[in-house]
Amino acid sequence: MGGLSQTNKKLKKLESLWAGQETLLIVMQDNPDPDAIAAACALKELANKKAGITCRLSYGGTIGRAQNRELVDYLGVNLHPFNEIGNKYFDLIAMVDTQPATGNNPLPPKILPDIVIDHHPLRKPTRSVAFTDIRKNYGATSTIMWEYLSAAKITPQIPLATALLYGIRSDTQDLGRESIQADIDAMEDLYPLANKRMLSQIQQGRVPTGYYQMLSTALANTRIYENCLICNIGEIDNPDMIGELADLLLRHEQVNWVMCYACFDNRLLISLRTQDKDLKAGDVIHNVVCRIGTGGGHAGMAGGQIQLQPAKDLIRQCTRAEKLIRNRFLKSLNIRNKKGLPLVQIPLQTKPE
């Protein structure tokens, strides 16, 4: 079925679901990325314009990455931490770019949302949701949301168009990974509506010294095992960096697989990236976190998390979990050499002239 005719049908269903309702909570994943932020804003626009529904956008974790903060500022949208806003006072709950009980969003697993729109593979609990639109071949949820706006004949304002374009570009790495014709079409439609200068300003978001310190530590803690890299970032205050580093490391010319992990907020967070055509990152992450955490993802990228017990010795727990995920990861890829080599030599400090 073509994207737009499917979207038209879905839109009708959505309109009957939210008819007569007044408030909608839109839940994003923890540490929402540009795709999640743009998709949530687009759903808000749709619910506002088509049904006069008041929406609140909510997330877990932080808005850490400079580009994402820049994007939120530009959109002028209020994003509410879930622990401050809760879900009690809303007629409806929607989820975008994530699904119930995945472990990467703040909605308690007992609470089922009414609407789920996502491009990750369908999860079991999602089947019980009243309205779902899961298109796992799409490169971005922003592409799906752009189709909804088109079907509803809503032309987004410049900031929203810019955000949707950015959402698609960053989730597909400029169509370089896991994208389909629908993503290309959406980008072509959005391009004339977007503020290109603003887009490049957002992408070049300024960063503090700590960013380079983190990068330096992470590179020093990266080991190469045949065609795969494992990077231990250590403790971080900005979880978006895990995916950003994984993308950077996957550019290594000999590397097909990357696993990056870091400790954040009493959790061990993991990002996988691959160019492997035979084995999916989403399947490998399930092996890696089996029985100790949660995870999911696409063919080329996946993420997982392991909850640690804050009261107990965190460093020991972390070290044990790290060893386990490293071994499981290498085993999944049939890599026997468990020692690996440092990716880079740390140079001796040079004295100033």
Where do contacts with Mn ion occur on this chain (CB under 5 A)? 35, 97, 141, 171
Which residue number, 97 or 114, has a Cβ lying nearer to Mn ion? 97
Which residue number, 171 or 244, has a Cβ lying nearer to Mn ion? 171
Residue 162 sits at φ, ψ, to 5 deg, of -65, -45
Instruction: Please count the residues of the chain.
Output: 353
Closest CA to 159 of 205, 129, 193: 193
Q: How far is the CB of 104 from Mn ion (least distance, A)?
A: 11
3-state secondary structure of 17: helix
Closest CA to 80 of 106, 58, 96: 58
Residue whose pair of structure tokens reads 């290109």 in the numeric block: 196
Beta bridge partners of 80: 58
Q: How far is the CB of 144 from Mn ion (least distance, A)?
A: 10
Q: How far is the CB of 310 from Mn ion (least distance, A)?
A: 29
Long-range contacts of 309-316 (CB under 8 A, 24+ apart): 309/266, 310/266, 314/263, 314/266
| Consecutive H or E run containing 182 | helix 181-190
Q: How far is the CB of 343 from Mn ion (least distance, A)?
A: 28
Which residue number, 7 or 332, has a Cβ lying nearer to Mn ion? 7
Do strands 23-27 and 54-59 pair parallel, antiparallel, or not at all (unpaired)? parallel
Which residue number, 171 or 183, has a Cβ lying nearer to Mn ion? 171
Q: How far is the CB of 7 from Mn ion (least distance, A)?
A: 17
Which residue number, 241 or 263, has a Cβ lying nearer to Mn ion? 241
Q: How far is the CB of 26 from Mn ion (least distance, A)?
A: 14
Closest chain position to Mn ion (CB): 35
d(CA 292, CA 118): 25
Which residue number, 300 or 318, has a Cβ lying nearer to Mn ion? 300
